[in-house]
Amino acid sequence: MPSGREVRVEAGTTLLAAARKAELPVASACGENQLCSLCGLEILQGAGTLAPEPDAEAHIKELNRIDSELRLSCKLEVAGDLVVTAQYW
C-alpha cells in the first residue's frame, strides 16, 4: 500500500526481498544485518502469519528510535499473504 502492487514469493523469502521484487523502494544501510532499522515496514494485513518479533529486533528498533509497530523487513520471512506500507511510500 498505497501502490497496489502484488508479488508472489516462496515462503521463507524475506519481506525486504519481496518488496524489492515488487520494485518498491525500501531503505537499508546495514547490508541486511538487522542493525540500522531503516527497512522497517508496517504490516497492515496478515501479521498473524508472521513469526513473533524476537527480543533482538525490539531492542534494535528501540536503540534506533524506530516505531515499535514496524517490523524489520531484512530478517522477517514471509509465511502468508501480507499487505505492508512504509512511512515514505
As a whole number, the mean pLDDT across the chain is 91
Number of CB atoms found within 10 A of residue 44's CB: 11
Apex 64 CA angle, 29 and 87, nearest 5 = 70
Residue 6 domain-assigned (yes or no): no
- Over pLDDT 70: what percentage of the chain? 99
Number of CB atoms found within 10 A of residue 60's CB: 20
**Predicted model pTM:** 0.88
Residue 77 domain-assigned (yes or no): yes
If you search the block for the grid coordinates 519481506, which residue do you land on?
Answer: 15
Residue 10 domain-assigned (yes or no): no
What CATH number does the domain containing 59 carry? Answer: 3.10.20.30
Apex 84 CA angle, 41 and 72, nearest 5 = 25
pLDDT of residue 1: 67
How many structural domains does the chain have?
Answer: 1
Segments forming the whole domain that contains residue 51: 15-85
Summarised one tens digit per residue, pLDDT across range 15-55 is 999 999 999 999 888 888 888 889 999 999 999 999 999 99
Q: Grid coordinates representing 80? A: 502468508
